[in-house]
Amino acid sequence: MAEEFTVRIAARDYEVDTNGHVSSAVLLRYGHHARWSCLRAAGFDHVALAGRGLGPVSLEERIRFHREVFAGDELDVTCEFHWGEGKTFTVEQRLCRDDGTLLAEITNVGGLLDLSRRRLVERPGEHWRELAATPELLGL
């Protein structure tokens, strides 16, 4: 099982939609921020990845809402990486208030793109493992 990583994000006033909620696009950005924070915490070197001619891609992103999120809420955003044998991996994320109330869940399916061939590479986790100082944070 992958180790879970958490980052805290404060929802800002200018991130609300016309209903007074933090917008869904912003919640997806929180997920994106948490994933990159996790990669940095694992010591991942994106320059080295680019040097291999590879780039991370997001293939699918789904959000499931459980509770309203308002400006001023402090959210804990988790990241849990799941690796398979194919060309993709999944990151499961939970967005919770600081009291543990589940607000939303994000599922992101990603891969690594060979930038010259424009095709996904097999077993992307092997590349992430080689480039991370602490691959355990990525479930590797």
Cα separation, 103 vs 77, whole angstroms: 10
- Chain segment 9-36, per-residue pLDDT in tens: 999 999 999 999 999 999 999 999 999 9
Record the pTM.
Answer: 0.91
Angle (CA) 1-106-80 rounded to 5° is 20
- Chain segment 109-131, per-residue pLDDT in tens: 999 999 999 999 999 999 999 99
pLDDT of residue 1 exceeding 60, the answer is no
